[in-house]
Chain A
Amino acid sequence: MDFKWTIFVESLPILLKGAIITAQLTVISVIIGLIIGLFGGLGRVSSNRVIKRLALAYVTVIRGIPLLVTLMFMYYGLPAIGIDLTAFTVAFLALSVTNGAYVTEIIRAGIQSIDTGQMRAARSLGMPYGLAMRRIILPQVVRRVLPPITNEAITLLKNTALVSTIALTDLLRSGLEIMASKANTFSPFAGVALIYLLMTMPLIWLVSRLEKRFAVPGSG
């Protein structure tokens, strides 16, 4: 049995420090990803062809490249052309842009799932497109996309582990460092896994709450 209670307890404060970095990255990237995703989603359903194609190109490129590659490219590749960003900046940029692409697709699907009669009714009352989107369509979209967007946040939180590859001391990296210094592999990773689980569990609980709450659309 390689599990050592003392090493496990000793490593917890260090792991929690790493967990703070992980949490910071997650919160920032979720928020920026939502903002990007809102405009991206609106762009995807825009009647302006240029905007529509730009949004599609963004989604296609980001979804087609592994996050790990994006991180390495930005951290190791960009300095070669004179753009030298800190590991934390690279991490939150890459995570935000990636999350933004997935949220874009969720919001696009959400907008397109709303009956076209809603927009027709709003426009027939003299509402401009933007007002109709903001007051009539998006409030209905929010109810439908909250569960999948929260799922994306869970995925994002777990994907932050990839930033351990670019010299950022997140939760996983903290575990790796303890493993090296204490010459024990099992105990620190047990702690790492446990903390990831504790962080994702509230989100998993939130998804099931949201799904139940919005199960009957429009019942108010």
Chain B
Amino acid sequence: MTHMIEIHGLHKSFGDHHVLKGIDLTVDAGEVVCVIGPSGSGKSTLLNCINFLEPYGPGEIWVDGTLIGYSKNGNGALVRVADRTLNQAREKIGIVFQQFNLFPHLTALENIIEAPIHVRRIPRRHAVEQAHELLRKVGLLEKANAYPARLSGGQQQRVAIARSLAMEPKVMLFDEVTSALDPELVGEVLAVMLQLAKDGMTMFVVTHEMSFAKEVADRVIFMDAGEIVEQGQPSNIFGSPKSERLRGFLARIRV
């Protein structure tokens, strides 16, 4: 079978700074993968490469059978695809950011229906129906007409998740989505993510929430210095870490 996400020999550099040093990774459909690791380990960069917000290379990233950002020419060399092709690929990949990035001039509802109407070109009436359904799912139906500035951080992040889901993505990427939240608001966002996982969504979650990784992840990946150091079931990663680097990391975050 083909995997939902397949990453082969992925490298990424910012100038001289080599951030990703050969990542190989697969994520199956319906799988929840959590990526942990110290800051600067390249885990957010990896996530941003998956929908080509960061152009990568060399290496290959396939999502649902589509090579992201490039196509192969006759010689098997990679050439950048047209923007239009990239945009189509991106519709399959939802992403939720640390800073929410809701559109401040639009209400919660308008944030959600914007891309379905203008990118997927579905009728406004259907988009609004779907948005109401999604707002109910994240528990914010009564905030449909509120502007982001009137919402708490946790509420904004739940709207952002609904906005991504409105494009009916095959994969959802979460980039430290609770890191900018006050502690008492973290739970409501994690609850939405847990429900999403139960519904069978394929999820790639970069997180500092070890309890979430422990309880929800099918697999945990530990990254350090641009490499995947160790991966496995949460019980193994947290219970019996093999590598020295992972043991050190776990010891530091438990202080």
Contact = CB atoms under 8 A, between A and B. Distances in A.
B97 A135 contact: no
A124 B150 CA distance: 24
Contacts of B191: none
B93 interface: yes
A135 B111 CA distance: 11
Contact of A139 (B84, B105, B107, B115): B105
Interface stretch (A89-97, A126-134, A169-177): A126-134
Contact of A125 (B99, B147, B150, B163): B163
Interface residues of B, number: 32
Contacts of A121: 97, 101-103, 160
Interface string B67-87: 000000000000000011001
Nearest to B160: A121
Interface string B137-179: 0000000000111100000000010011001000000000000
Contacts, number: 78
A124 B103 contact: no
B12 interface: no
Interface stretch (A2-10, A29-37, A193-201, A212-220): A212-220
B115 A125 contact: yes
A60 interface: no
B160 to A, nearest CB: 8
Contacts of A136: 103, 114
Main secondary structure of the interface of A (DSSP, over half): helix
B168 to A, nearest CB: 11
Contacts of B105: 139-140, 143, 218, 220
24 contacts: A117-B97, A118-B103, A120-B53, A121-B97, A121-B103, A122-B103, A122-B115, A123-B90, A124-B90, A124-B95, A124-B164, A126-B91, A126-B119, A126-B120, A126-B167, A131-B118, A140-B103, A217-B104, A218-B104, A218-B148, A219-B147, A220-B105, A220-B107, A220-B150
Given A115-B99, A121-B97, A131-B119, 18 more contacts: A121-B160, A122-B115, A124-B90, A124-B164, A126-B87, A126-B119, A127-B118, A127-B119, A128-B83, A128-B87, A135-B118, A136-B114, A140-B103, A140-B104, A218-B104, A218-B105, A220-B105, A220-B149
